[in-house]
Structure 1
Amino acid sequence: MQAPVIPSRPEPHQQLEHTSRLMLAAAQRSDWSEVRRLEGVAQGQVAALRLQAPRPAPAGPAERQARQRALLAVLRHDAQVRALAEPVIDRVTQGRPQLH
């Protein structure tokens, strides 16, 4: 009889990537309330990663590559969310006095 396989908990980098993917999907639906909510989730995940900063280096090249892929995906998702949000922000702020 084999021992049951216990799924491993996703790495913090992968959790952040998942959240950024959800943010992009919400932005594509123009669900800005959900984008804002997920932004708060992502901020918490980034804070948790910063607390782990002194954490040992990845165990090997595969883990290092997985972290790098996850962080690059987060950056791509962020750029796409910003591209979708900028026209909305411009429309909302049009005609309002700019604060300097």
Structure 2
Amino acid sequence: MEHSLLDYYTAIENASARMLEAAKAEDWDAVVHLESTCAVLIAQLRHKSRHTELAPEERKEKSRIMQRILRADAQIRVLAEPWLSDLEQLMDAKPVH
């Protein structure tokens, strides 16, 4: 089945929404897994977009999808900050002798 460019944007948006839900549940393993899924989809999108262009009405939908992805990404970053801070502290901790 041939996927349209919008199919890729929608798949990335869906993965981003699932990533946000995982972050809200503090399921960081799922967040990391879904981030990898997004990376694969983005690579596929980049490849497909070299040979295909969006129609004007599709560009509007792409813009709406991108806004939703960016909002989800911002929320994920806010939720991840305490976790990243804890991780940083663990990595900076010196072993006790």
Q: AA paired with 1:75? A: L
Q: CA deviation at 1:63?
A: 1.3
From 56, 75, 80, give the equivalent of 1:80.
75
From 18, 21, 28, give the equivalent of 1:25.
21
Q: CA deviation at 1:95?
A: 5.5
The SS at the match of 2:67 is helix
The aligned residue for residue 38 of structure 2 is 42
The aligned residue for residue 61 of structure 2 is 66
Unaligned 5+ residue runs, structure 1? 1-7
- Please identify which structure carries the higher helix content: 2
Q: Residues 33, 95 of structure 1: CA spacing in aligned structure 2 closer, same or farther, 3 A cutoff?
A: closer
Structure with greater Cα Rg: 1
Per the normalisation by structure 2, the TM-score is 0.81
CA RMSD of aligned residues (A): 2.1
Q: Distance in 2 between matches of 1:56 and 1:97?
A: 47
Q: CA deviation at 1:93?
A: 1.6
Unaligned 5+ residue runs, structure 2? none
